[in-house]
Structure 1
Amino acid sequence: MLFESPRAFLSALPRFAQSAHAFEALASSAQFREQLLEHIAKAQRRIYIAALYLQNDAAGDLILSALYAAKARQPQLEIAVFVDWHRAQRGLIGAKAESGNAAWYQQRAQQHHLEVPIYGVPVQSRELLGVLHLKGFVIDDKVIYSGASLNNVYLHVGDRYRYDRYHVLHNPALAESMVHFFQTALLSQTAVHRLDRPNIPSTKAIRGEIRHFRQHLKAARYSLQGSSNTETGLAITPWVGVGQRNPLNRLILKLISASERKIVICTPYFNLPRSVTKALNSLIKKGVQIDLIIGDKTANDFYIPPSEPFKTIGALPYLYEANLRRFAKVQQKAMQAGQLNILLWHDIGHSFHLKGIWVDDDYQLLTGNNLNPRAFNLDLENALLIHDPQGELSTSKAAELQQIRQHTRRIASYTELETLADYPEKVKKLLTRLSRIRVDRLLSRFL
């Protein structure tokens, strides 16, 4: 129906039944690392991994070594790792030029002489215009879902961690659906190439295949075979989308609008699409309580302390804080009334990468979607919508939210957030220049 209510839309979705006893929320990045390695070591049939990147560092080596060990132990094991095509063939942002992770994949493949395929997925012909932001690790019939990528800070190897959400679900139907998507939406396409083998084609050489692939992805969906739209207990619906007005965007907006009493939203970067801001404004008018949990600018993965050499990318956390300040100023009345709670996450030396939505007591969304214009318009994103009408996950939900709130502080007024005048001199000069030519608004669409 054209004007169906958000609740009607959500309740009509097909979904897979999920046992509460087979659903676990992990508390830390270290636990995520341990669980991932443990499940890889026990794998019997298949391992499918999707992440933005698998980094050439100590943590990445742990994962890749575990995959090779699993393959040596179980030669018939199906393994496929999917990473972003562009990200795998460049160095870190702001770092010196290097060949990227692909050269490392090839080196390891030559050392082991075992088939552990690592595929580069080119969502667009340029990284700025879209990347593989698909999430999920399928190991046999289990799904490990997190917004994290695979490197030292995401897996807490060393002194620092980047905080995310981490869930382990035993659900054969969901696992099968996700593997089917990997096989039909990604592996079947000529634009997707092995990065662990030499002679990788240039992006220019496969530009036509990438355009075709992009169109294919816009129509790609998770298989919902074996699902039901009459499930009355705990259930999960996988969702995927890429490009403007995609199905995942619609789902997120319907989910936000479905809130009747309380909604909790986590995002590391406060750069909301207009449609999301509009939906939140409507909730405030309806009297719905809103908790926004956001990374403090110093907990942003692009933050550069004033004591270190400044790079242009280091201005991003300040742009996000300026966005938040403007939003908070408009909604100051709701903040004073306690209807809108803005909670800033900060744990000294660590960073925040956590996303998610909790609606009333019956819905929550696991996703890698940053709820920003880039996620809504450019990147390939996915999510797991959890419907819990009987509150079977209420204890798990409360524990997870308590853990997330542990390092947060509530701001009572927009004036608690810094302004341009408070920023380091180089940040101030750059943001002033960008604002004059309105490039800051353009950047918000891509970063």
Structure 2
Amino acid sequence: MELPAYLTTVFLIVEYVAKIVAIGVIPNNRRPSSSSAWLLLILFVPVIGFPLYWLIGSPWVKGRRYEAQRASDDVLRAHAGHLPLIPDGAETTPPLERIVHMNRELTQLPCVTGRVGELIDDTRVFYQEMARAVDAAERYVHVEFYIMAWDDTTDVFFTALARAAERGIKVRLLVDQLGSQKYPGWRQFKRRLTEAGVEWRLMMPIKLLKGRWRRPDLRNHRKLMIVDGDIAFVGSHNVIDPAYANAKNRRIGREWIDLSVSVTGDIVLEVEAVFAMDWFVESGEILDRDEHFIDKPDLIPGGANNALQLVPSGPGYPTEPNQRLFVALMYLAERTITITSPYFVPDESLLSAITSAVYRGVRVDLFVGEKADQFMVGHAQRSYYETLLEAGVNIYLYPAPTVLHSKYMTVDERIGVIGSSNMDYRSFALDYEITLMAFGGDLVDKLHVIDDGYRSVSRLLTLEEWRKQPLAARYLDSVCRLTSALM
């Protein structure tokens, strides 16, 4: 049935007015790539674009979570304001000091000292190491991961948590709801945690029947654990079987390879501060400062002792601290940059920084998986290969079926960065992340050893090879590149 002419006219007027308003509203305080993607969707497919923008258009949290972030920043500023910019004994340069200052200005977390343990790239060994730390706990264990599942591989860790709770250790656990609930055994997982005496909360929960709505695209992607305030683990590991509970993955031999590190010393207090804020937001409980934030003896950087600074980021940080850190470090480089990221979809500033580094004579090695585990992000990543190769970036493809999931970066022989953050729009703006920056010690040397291992098994992609890609594949890459700014 046709609509009356006047209703059609009204509809067209409303549609065009809405589009005109969108042109002036959407670019406000938004990066150009994101603005362009949203406007294209709204202008060409308004019936999808307008509702989607209303649901997930803003990358920033508001309300209680925003206020909690601001209150946390005030507390950190008050308690850490007296600390020096650079720890005593750390060798640095004025440009690096300015980056440390920027990180502190954006997150309120100072640069402190800490002792770096061995890097752990074997997932099963990682669970065993965490279990050993839990078994040694005397007061409490704090656990926060994006994805968790109690399976045959992770049982060693969760059983250790159960033993800790049984002997009176306070075990607090945070897990992202949407990140974990899609894996087998989700309901049983929650029940087993409760039965084990673990006090757990969902991060960013969506409970429509209880009137709790959360943006489904904003997630907590952090991966960390703290034991007694004495040792912390950070990195890229989730807590799930390396094949991610997928029969096809097991059949073809696909496993995720990750990288995490343990640290001791004052840096543990910063990891604890991040957990404390996330725990308060989800539970309403304020962790006791005298119990959980006990200063450690200062260390002199050198060897395993590093100058360390934790950089949290996410929807509560509109300044995107992790993105600014990556860009600043690339401009700081004089000789080499190595980047390992499973999802490398750079924005304009990051792409300019990495290509500018090559043009001024810096060797840049980028390690990515030969085949990505996420369709759209994988194709969006591929769309940048030609520009990177033309500039002179060395792209190393880690062989499939393994999924290279490690997330770290080194600059020259001086600075190392490791954490949960990818180098894409989602990690810069939509996901809560943590990134650990180190200098003045041996973390960067340990990361270079990992580089050598990845380089020895990877294949160097050439510009000539890439230009032979089928036209259809290049078209698909470009389409996914456009949508990457919306995800």
- C-alpha separation between the residues in 1 aligned to 2:482 and 2:121? 36
Other structure's SS at 2:241 match: coil
CA offset at residue 149 of structure 1?
0.8
Query: Is contact 1:105-1:118 (8 Å) kept?
Result: no
Could you say if the C-alpha distance between residues 418 and 108 of structure 1 is closer, same or farther in structure 2, counting changes exceeding 3 Å? farther
1:137 is aligned with what amino acid?
M
Does structure 1 residue 341 correspond to structure 2 residue 402?
no
Does structure 1 residue 320 correspond to structure 2 residue 412?
no
Cα offsets for 1:306-360 (capped at 9, x unmatched): xxxxxxxx45433432x233323xx42x43xxxx2111111x4321111111011
- C-alpha separation between the residues in 1 aligned to 2:300 and 2:191? 50
CA offset at residue 266 of structure 1?
0.9
Does structure 1 residue 278 correspond to structure 2 residue 369?
no
Does structure 1 residue 87 correspond to structure 2 residue 179?
yes
- C-alpha separation between the residues in 2 aligned to 1:224 and 1:364? 26
Q: Which residue of 2 aligns with 1:443?
A: 483
Other structure's SS at 1:263 match: strand
- Pairwise CA RMSD: 3.5
Q: Which residue of 1 aligns with 2:190?
A: 106
Query: Is contact 1:40-1:67 (8 Å) kept?
Result: yes
Query: Which structure's CA Rg is the greater one?
Result: 2
- Where do residues 223-372 of structure 1 align in structure 2 (5 Å cutoff)? 234-243=306-315, 244-297=318-371, 300-302=372-374, 314-321=375-382, 323-328=383-388, 331-332=389-390, 334-335=391-392, 340-346=393-399, 348-372=400-424
Q: Which residue of 1 aligns with 2:63?
A: none
Q: Which residue of 2 aligns with 1:399?
A: 449
Query: Is contact 1:15-1:224 (8 Å) kept?
Result: no
Runs of 5+ consecutive residues of structure 2 not aligned to the other structure:
1-92, 105-109, 207-212, 286-292
Does structure 1 residue 166 correspond to structure 2 residue 260?
yes
CA offset at residue 121 of structure 1?
1.4
Query: Is contact 1:122-1:192 (8 Å) kept?
Result: no
Q: Which residue of 2 aligns with 1:45?
A: 139
Could you say if the C-alpha distance between residues 258 and 47 of structure 1 is closer, same or farther in structure 2, counting changes exceeding 3 Å? same
Query: Is contact 2:310-2:436 (8 Å) kept?
Result: yes
Does structure 1 residue 379 correspond to structure 2 residue 431?
yes
Which segment is superposed worse, 369-378 or 273-282? 273-282
Does structure 1 residue 181 correspond to structure 2 residue 233?
no
Q: Which residue of 2 aligns with 1:415?
A: 465
Query: Is contact 1:58-1:152 (8 Å) kept?
Result: yes
1:345 is aligned with what amino acid?
Y
Could you say if the C-alpha distance between residues 394 and 269 of structure 1 is closer, same or farther in structure 2, counting changes exceeding 3 Å? closer
Cα offsets for 1:59-106 (capped at 9, x unmatched): 34443222112222x21x121111113334x425xxxxx8x72x2233
CA offset at residue 276 of structure 1?
0.9
Does structure 1 residue 152 correspond to structure 2 residue 241?
yes
Which segment is superposed worse, 37-46 or 282-291? 37-46
Query: Is contact 2:265-2:296 (8 Å) kept?
Result: no
CA offset at residue 441 of structure 1?
4.2
Cα offsets for 1:24-66 (capped at 9, x unmatched): 1124223212212222222222211111111253334443222
CA offset at residue 363 of structure 1?
0.5
- C-alpha separation between the residues in 2 aligned to 1:38 and 1:275? 42
Could you say if the C-alpha distance between residues 410 and 278 of structure 1 is closer, same or farther in structure 2, counting changes exceeding 3 Å? same
* Aligned residue-pair number: 366
Does structure 1 residue 116 correspond to structure 2 residue 172?
no
Q: Which residue of 1 aligns with 2:27?
A: none
Q: Which residue of 1 aligns with 2:112?
A: 16
Query: Is contact 2:274-2:312 (8 Å) kept?
Result: no
2:421 is aligned with what amino acid?
N
Q: Which residue of 1 aligns with 2:49?
A: none
Could you say if the C-alpha distance between residues 6 and 372 of structure 1 is closer, same or farther in structure 2, counting changes exceeding 3 Å? farther
CA offset at residue 392 of structure 1?
3.8
Query: Is contact 1:271-1:372 (8 Å) kept?
Result: yes
Which segment is superposed worse, 258-267 or 226-235? 226-235
- C-alpha separation between the residues in 1 aligned to 2:297 and 2:468? 49
Q: Which residue of 1 aligns with 2:119?
A: 25
- C-alpha separation between the residues in 1 aligned to 2:138 and 2:295? 23
Calculate percent identity across the aligned residue pairs: 19
- C-alpha separation between the residues in 2 aligned to 1:224 and 1:46? 13
2:460 is aligned with what amino acid?
R
Could you say if the C-alpha distance between residues 421 and 247 of structure 1 is closer, same or farther in structure 2, counting changes exceeding 3 Å? closer
Q: TM-score, normalised by structure 2?
A: 0.66
Could you say if the C-alpha distance between residues 37 and 228 of structure 1 is closer, same or farther in structure 2, counting changes exceeding 3 Å? closer
- C-alpha separation between the residues in 2 aligned to 1:291 and 1:245? 27
Could you say if the C-alpha distance between residues 87 and 178 of structure 1 is closer, same or farther in structure 2, counting changes exceeding 3 Å? same
CA offset at residue 163 of structure 1?
0.8
Query: Is contact 1:245-1:376 (8 Å) kept?
Result: no
CA offset at residue 246 of structure 1?
2.5
- C-alpha separation between the residues in 1 aligned to 2:143 and 2:312? 16
Cα offsets for 1:149-191 (capped at 9, x unmatched): 111117999764311112122x1322233223322x12222x5
2:455 is aligned with what amino acid?
R
Q: TM-score, normalised by structure 1?
A: 0.72
- C-alpha separation between the residues in 2 aligned to 1:403 and 1:370? 20
Structure (1 or 2) with the greater helix fraction: 2
2:425 is aligned with what amino acid?
P
Runs of 5+ consecutive residues of structure 1 not aligned to the other structure:
93-97, 195-222, 303-313
Could you say if the C-alpha distance between residues 155 and 354 of structure 1 is closer, same or farther in structure 2, counting changes exceeding 3 Å? same
**Which 4+ stretches in 1 moved above 4 angstroms?**
123-128, 154-160, 191-194, 223-233, 420-423
CA offset at residue 268 of structure 1?
0.8
Q: Which residue of 1 aligns with 2:6?
A: none
2:112 is aligned with what amino acid?
F
